A and B are shown apart, each in its own frame.
Chain A
């Protein structure tokens, strides 16, 4: 296992198009997170999964964003009808956690840089 991987690394799309990103977490990790980061800002929480269940979704996330983790392994993040404001780095992270004492560090993928033109 070489860590968290994200695909693609870069995506340029025209405004109004749909895009889908993939994240493959570390295999033994049950938690998977999606973040969005723009230049000079901290990672902004989008959503997270514990196994296949999507447990939390940011209020800031519009209906154009949807994420899935159908088998509790890889996850996809889809953005429909992209807007220029969606241009950002989309980071995926995974960790092991139960809410109890077993929380571990999160490992990040290298991110997908989205540019909407």
Chain B
């Protein structure tokens, strides 16, 4: 199966600072790259995604960048807010998808 790694595993930032989470994967067949946010006690929900024919996508304070050659994609959150505190998972998708190990983000007010 796919080998998916996320870094860092935990991240603390001051409110208003930026946060970056990186996901590396092994399956060259992956062509769809989503990021999910999971708040405590809730189900994972999609926050942003990108397809393999695009290098970058932005949605307000959230962006995703993809380097398909190097097999990694990153989540960028700018102007972080306390409500951004959650666990974030990448899930590169080809024939199926595997979750990364997760990054616990804490935004300190």
Interface positions of A (Cβ within 8 A of B): 31, 33, 35, 41-45, 48, 55-56, 58, 91, 95, 97, 99-101, 103-106, 108-111
Contact = CB atoms under 8 A, between A and B. Distances in A.
A55 B94 CA distance: 13
B96 A55 contact: yes
A99 to B, nearest CB: 4
Contact of B45 (A31, A35, A108, A111): A108
Secondary structure at the B interface, as helix, strand, loop or mixed, is loop
Interface of B: 1, 29, 31-32, 34, 43-46, 49, 51, 87, 89, 91, 93-102
B29 A108 contact: no
Contacts of A105: 34, 46, 49
B87 to A, nearest CB: 8
Contact of A97 (B43, B45, B93, B102): B93
Secondary structure at the A interface, as helix, strand, loop or mixed, is loop
Contacts of B89: 42-43
Contacts of A56: 1, 96
Given A42-B101, A43-B89, A56-B1, A101 B51 contact: yes
A42 B31 contact: no
Contact of A108 (B43, B49, B95): B43
Nearest to A47: B96
A7 to B, nearest CB: 15
B6 to A, nearest CB: 8
A53 B26 CA distance: 25
Given A101-B31, A110-B43, A42 B96 contact: no
B44 A43 contact: yes
A106 B91 contact: yes
* Residue among B1, B96, B98 with the highest chain A CB neighbour number at 10 A: B96
Contacts of B98: 45
Contact of B94 (A33, A41, A48, A99): A99
Contacts of A31: 96
